[in-house]
């Protein structure tokens, strides 16, 4: 962003940053980042915590909310049967220690009784879990439950698998975001405040998913309590953020470049960018 700031000054064009999630960086590098953000022609955040610490005058949610301003069906493909979706990362989250809980006898029995015959494991990023001990796959098969891996490339080419009676467990921000906004139920998991804040931002946009610490999740009980067809998102909140984002896009047309305030601002941003 610092490089974009200097490029904007050189080219005499505005620098606009939208849908920004700024924590926890803004807590540890408060002064330098405030100077950088304050120099931008427009800074917009995706959740209230970033809005509060950045001094941003607007919080319009995640930019991807605009996907839901039109025909949502173009961003997913209809899956043939209800599934349990798992997207548990190894980056800032110990996915390997959590996923085994979905393959216990009690959890698999609960899935079968709830009418789930498929587990989809999403590779939302390269470090996510997409390889499992073969014994897990064989055990699920004995319960009549098949495991399918959904690669990043598959999601990019086809969209997200969709069935209205599915349910998703994830530590990933955008997996929570897209499935909740599509009306699919789920549980968002975290192990640190960084992801707790990120998931809370989706709650503010209308998600009704519970957000909980991974250690507090009772997997078999959570599966037993799945209510197919339950409401996963508050439509009014979702559409409120869609309108906020549309308004931001409209107003961006009127933003003009501004010169740097003073030499001190330039030096402070330069030192931050170069790590001095």
Can you spell out the DSSP letters for 108-152?
Answer: HHHHHHTT--EEEEE-SSTTS-----HHHHHHHHHTT-EEEEE-H
- 50 & 110 share domain: no
Could you tell me the maximum CA-CA distance found in the chain, to the nearest angstrom?
A: 69
- 17 & 96 share domain: no
**Beta carbons within 8 Å of 42's beta carbon, 6+ residues apart:** 14, 15, 16, 17, 18, 252, 255
- pLDDT tens series, the chain, 276 aa: 888 988 999 999 999 999 988 776 555 556 777 788 888 899 898 888 777 766 677 899 999 999 999 876 656 788 999 999 999 987 778 888 899 999 999 999 999 999 999 999 998 887 787 667 889 999 999 999 999 999 888 888 888 999 999 999 999 999 999 999 999 999 999 998 889 989 999 999 999 999 999 999 999 999 999 987 789 999 999 999 999 999 999 999 999 998 887 787 788 778 777 765
- 54 & 76 share domain: no
- 222 & 270 share domain: no
Whether 93 is covered by a domain: the verdict is yes
Q: What is the DSSP letter of 56?
A: -
Whether 190 is covered by a domain: the verdict is yes
* Torsion of the alpha carbons at 54, 57, 60 and 64, rounded to the nearest 10: -50
Whether 235 is covered by a domain: the verdict is no
- 81 & 148 share domain: yes
How many other C-beta atoms are found inside a 10 Å radius of the C-beta of residue 270? 13
- Residue 26 confidence (pLDDT): 56
Q: Which two three-digit tokens encode residue 240?
A: 């409120």
- Residue 74 confidence (pLDDT): 59
Q: What is the DSSP letter of 89?
A: -
- 80 & 215 share domain: yes
- 181 & 263 share domain: no
- Residue 73 confidence (pLDDT): 64
Residue 143 belongs to a domain with what CATH number? Answer: 3.40.50
State which residues form the domain around 193. 71-230
| Contact yes or no for 45/244 (Cβ under 8 A) | no
- Residue 178 confidence (pLDDT): 94
Whether 60 is covered by a domain: the verdict is yes
DSSP string, 231-270: --B-HHHHHHHHHHHHHHHHHHTT------S-HHHHHHHH
- Residue 64 confidence (pLDDT): 93
Specify the 3-state DSSP secondary structure of 6: helix
- 116 & 215 share domain: yes
Whether 92 is covered by a domain: the verdict is yes
d(CA 121, CA 236): 31
- Residue 72 confidence (pLDDT): 67
- 247 & 201 share domain: no
d(CA 9, CA 142): 63
- 142 & 221 share domain: yes
Angle at 230 between CA 223 and CA 208, to 5 degrees: 85
- 110 & 163 share domain: yes
Query: Of the candidates 211, 230, 249, which is a domain's last residue?
Result: 230
Whether 44 is covered by a domain: the verdict is yes
97, 187, 269, 270 from 263: Cα distances, Å:
51, 49, 10, 11
Whether 236 is covered by a domain: the verdict is no
d(CA 155, CA 169): 17
- 16 & 100 share domain: no
pTM over 0.75: yes
Domains of the chain: total: 2
């Amino acid at each position: 962003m610092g490089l974009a700031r200097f490029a904007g000054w050189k080219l005499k064009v505005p620098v606009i940053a939208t849908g920004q999630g700024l924590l926890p960086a803004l807590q540890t590098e408060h002064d330098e980042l405030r100077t950088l953000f304050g120099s931008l022609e427009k800074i917009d955040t995706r959740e209230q915590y970033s809005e509060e610490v950045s001094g941003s005058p607007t919080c319009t949610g995640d930019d991807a909310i605009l996907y839901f301003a039109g025909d949502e069906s173009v961003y997913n493909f209809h899956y043939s049967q209800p599934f349990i979706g798992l997207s548990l990362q190894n980056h800032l989250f110990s996915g390997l220690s959590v996923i085994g809980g979905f393959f216990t006898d009690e959890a698999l029995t609960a899935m079968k009784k709830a009418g789930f015959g498929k587990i989809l494991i999403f590779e939302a990023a390269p470090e996510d879990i997409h390889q499992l001990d073969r014994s897990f796959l064989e055990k699920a098969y004995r319960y009549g439950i098949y495991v399918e891996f959904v690669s990043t490339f598959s999601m990019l080419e086809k969209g997200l698998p969709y069935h209205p009676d599915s349910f998703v467990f994830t530590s990933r921000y955008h997996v929570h975001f897209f499935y909740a906004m599509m009306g699919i139920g789920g549980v968002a998991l975290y192990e640190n405040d960084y992801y707790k804040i990120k998931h809370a931002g989706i709650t503010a946009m209308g998600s009704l998913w519970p957000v909980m610490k991974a250690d507090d999740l009772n997997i078999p009980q959570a599966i037993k309590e799945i209510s197919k067809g339950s409401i996963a998102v508050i439509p009014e909140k979702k559409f409120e953020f869609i309108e906020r984002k549309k308004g931001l896009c409209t107003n961006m047309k009127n933003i003009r470049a501004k010169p740097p305030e003073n030499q001190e601002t330039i030096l402070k941003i330069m030192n931050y960018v170069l790590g001095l």
